[in-house]
Structure 1
């Protein structure tokens, strides 16, 4: 048995999608994200985009997690109300986990928001986190740190100096 062939083929990852689009639907679905989606599709890129018609609940979350894990690249469109959605924040946390564990490429796009607001959770991102912090659900409180870390990591992919007080 040739081990070099075995190890080579076992390390090869077959991606189901080229790109996973993460975005806040009410902010960008009918404009920027739709244009981006169709431009990528027209270029022959296999893109996963969630659908308003998808069922809600655990099965949808599982389907989205599988789509995230099966995507070579994640494009995250940060918009004004992105951080208001626990769904978006959970999705981002999963994307950043896949970046670390699977080598997924992540490209942040800042749609009418300042990248430093994403990094530092200020502006509309800070307001959204104040609302999340006031929620009584323990699961949300446990996720706050995970969400903050994911936002900071993603924004720093755009500019590594963001959030660095020494610069």
Structure 2
């Protein structure tokens, strides 16, 4: 589970996943199913529970974006009718470009080419938004570029014959794989910890079906708890259930 070093300028991440979606389209259905599936895997997920949205992205929401490792954008049929969603999309892609965060587009009964080119019913909603909000040309171009860039990323789409439950599980597995390849925030500023994590990882022998017990022994204050927490952070998403408890000093 050892990973490559990361710049110390990268801010620590509070959330594993940030969910971006259009409230009216998917919150009570697909998004809620995905959120519950992520929770069951102990993937710490940010979901905006503020039901009343204005035209501006709040500072607290921007902070949550900066503190997230990975973004999941759920493109639904009426996504482009929401200026809020498009503003959020622009901010997400800025985070990706500035901080290297991962973006996973999900197309919920929407053709990716319609998102990319703002065509079909998806494009109709976008055109209606431009007319109703009298958007400035700078905003329109910014939104078009963001939609095109997001649609060109590696993506997943829900087919008409696919069960939503199966689709959700595919997304969760993809997220788990991506998170497992990321460096732990515990290791970002700790010189020499990567080698220690690699050594313990080799002892865990994750490919084996056997039960393993690995102890970390040493005098107080040398970082045993930090190493244990970093190991747990790296591997806990691979299991159906995990438990982390740190004991008091002895």
- TM-score interval for Structure 1 and Structure 2 normalised by the shorter chain: 0.7 to 0.9
Structure 1 position 61, deviation (Å)? 2.0
Task: Find the structure with the greater CA-based Rg.
Answer: 2
Structure 1 position 12, deviation (Å)? 4.7
| Equivalent pairs, count | 151
> Structure 2 stretches of 5 or more lacking a match?
156-250
Q: For residues 26 and 16 of structure 2, what CA distance do their matches in structure 1 show?
A: 21
- 37, 40, 47: which one aligns with 1:39: 37
Structure 1 position 74, deviation (Å)? 0.2
- 16, 19, 33: which one aligns with 2:17: 19
Q: For residues 136 and 26 of structure 1, what CA distance do their matches in structure 2 show?
A: 19
**Do the aligned partners of 1:75 and 1:109 also contact (CA within 8 Å) in 2?**
yes
The equivalent residue for 1:142 is: 138
Query: SS at the partner of 2:28?
Result: helix
The equivalent residue for 1:152 is: 148
Query: SS at the partner of 2:153?
Result: helix
- 60, 63, 67: which one aligns with 2:64: 67
Structure 1 position 66, deviation (Å)? 1.2
TM-score (norm 1): 0.81
**Equivalences for 1:44-55 in 2 at 5 Å?**
44-53=42-51
> Structure 1 stretches of 5 or more lacking a match?
1-6, 160-167
Q: For residues 39 and 109 of structure 2, what CA distance do their matches in structure 1 show?
A: 24
Deviations 1:26-45 (A, max 9, x none): 11111110010011011011
Comparing 126-135 and 84-93, the one that deviates more:
126-135
Bigger helix fraction:
1
The equivalent residue for 1:4 is: none
Q: For residues 9 and 114 of structure 2, what CA distance do their matches in structure 1 show?
A: 38
Residues 62 and 11 of structure 1: is their aligned pair in 2 closer, same or farther, counting only changes over 3 Å? Answer: closer
Residues 128 and 9 of structure 1: is their aligned pair in 2 closer, same or farther, counting only changes over 3 Å? Answer: closer
Deviations 1:56-96 (A, max 9, x none): 565x6222111111111000000000000000000000000
